[in-house]
Amino acid sequence: MSPVTEKGETSLMAKAIREGIFAAIISFFMFLLFVGVETYQDINNALVWRMRWGLLFIFVAIAAIGRFLTVAFIKPHLDARKLSKAKSGILEISTQKSFFHRHFLKIALVFLLVYPFLMMLIVGKQGSLKYVDNFGIQILIYVMLAWGLNIVVGLAGLLDLGYVAFYAVGAYSYALLSSYLGLSFWILLPLSGIFAALWGIMLGFPVLRLRGDYLAIVTLAFGEIIRLVLINWTEVTKGTFGISGIAKASVFGIWSFDVGAPNNFAKVFGLASSSVYYKVFLFYVILALCLLTAYVTIRLRRMPIGRAWEALREDEIACRSLGINTVTTKLTAFATGAMFGGFAGSFFAARQGFVSPESFVFLESAVILAIVVLGGMGSLTGIAIAAVVMVGGTELLRDMSFLKIIFGPDFTPELYRMLLFGLAMVIVMLFKPRGFVGAREPTAFLKERKAVSGSFTKEGHG
């Protein structure tokens, strides 16, 4: 090795050590109060605090070592790879995609269809409950919500921070109408969607003139208004107690999942009674709802209204000068997005059997929006992946008992859910600023798709 590179290497090491120490100092002060101080109640119920130096040290050490490794090894390695690629002239995106890549959607669909049975086979009937319910259904609800919000934010470009309001409208529509009027799930599902869509239009009217930050603030307020109404209108909504004992969904009224009912699903088929059938049924219902959302979104994108949404996101003035009525375009976007939120809401109520305003806090809106942004605005596949990572990831945290070995027996990973959520977002946004699937798929072509299309080049302004 020549002396020049040797010198380069020692300076790189020095730099890495310097940056590692720097990272340690920053993280020490950052985590000092967050992690270093623990408050608890003593025997006299007084609030006291103590320092957790050990845990704090682990955090600082991870930051310092991580930074050191990044600067010393990972970054030079990546740079060298990039350079050699640029030298050899191989395009990053090869035109020949792998089998998995090309048939990704089909594979994913087949996997989802067999998922509940697969889980039953692997972990048994009772064990599969967790995977079908906590993972499967939970993730699919968020996929559906995110796809619904995607119409408003991703396609029409209207930043909506109060999307959870429509979810709440759907959930309470089902909860109230089924407990007061005794209507069934299959009647209330479309009704909830319609109610939510109406609320979407009601929100849409006053905010027609607003865009960007201003729109975001008003929609945020709207979400809070709905939640506060639900809390305070105690005669109808029972306030913070919520509504419990909501009727379960049935298989189109043919088979019921109520234990006492004569047409109980398990009884009819002579199966051992178990709650797993209901969960599997719900899994397929939400899967069907998701597919409906995806189908409608894909179809709409190819229709004039969908094109108008996307054009509206790009340039409102140009839209008007092309004869597009921006008022109806915005309202339909709000209404359509809200409708899917309403569907998801009524499904949520049927699944939980209990709704309370606590399920519809701003954090939910933020999570749904984060999924849309992480996935890549407008991309259904990207959003689904983001939902799996974000929702599935936070569910997985409950199982991460091995973290206790590192952080000590008192460590409860669930409490760090949001911290990790934020960390994950920062990392994704650093490396993929346009989300997992950032490139927009065009909806129309004159002839064959070309190998090198606009999606491979960076966007410019001029």
> With respect to another protein, which residue has the nearer C-beta, 244 or 325?
325
CA 385, chain centre distance (Å): 9
What one-character DSSP code corresponds to residue 70? I
**CA R_g for the chain:** 26
> With respect to another protein, which residue has the nearer C-beta, 59 or 309?
309
Task: Tell the smallest beta-carbon distance from residue 455 to another protein (Å).
Answer: 7
> With respect to another protein, which residue has the nearer C-beta, 207 or 439?
439
Task: Tell the smallest beta-carbon distance from residue 99 to another protein (Å).
Answer: 25
Q: Tell me if residue 1 falls in helix, strand or coil.
A: coil
d(Cα 144, Cα 288) in Å, to the nearest integer? Answer: 10
Interacting residues of 339 by C-beta distance below 8 A, sequence separation 6+: 148, 166, 193, 194, 196, 197, 200
Task: Tell the smallest beta-carbon distance from residue 304 to another protein (Å).
Answer: 6
> With respect to another protein, which residue has the nearer C-beta, 324 or 335?
324
> With respect to another protein, which residue has the nearer C-beta, 262 or 323?
323
Task: Tell the smallest beta-carbon distance from residue 456 to another protein (Å).
Answer: 9
Task: Tell the smallest beta-carbon distance from residue 319 to another protein (Å).
Answer: 8
Task: Tell the smallest beta-carbon distance from residue 329 to another protein (Å).
Answer: 9
C-alpha separations of 258 from 165, 187, 245, 251, 272 in Å: 30, 18, 11, 11, 14
Nearest to 289 by CA among 173, 392, 146, 169: 146
| 315 close to 308: Cβ distance less than 8 angstroms | no
Q: Tell me if residue 47 falls in helix, strand or coil.
A: strand
> With respect to another protein, which residue has the nearer C-beta, 271 or 322?
322
Binding site for another protein (CB under 8 A): 304, 307-308, 310-311, 313-315, 317-326, 440, 442-446, 449-450, 453-455, 457-462
For 265, the token pair is: 């699903």
> With respect to another protein, which residue has the nearer C-beta, 29 or 456?
456
Bridge-based pairing of strands 354-355 and 243-244 is: antiparallel
Task: Tell the smallest beta-carbon distance from residue 308 to another protein (Å).
Answer: 7
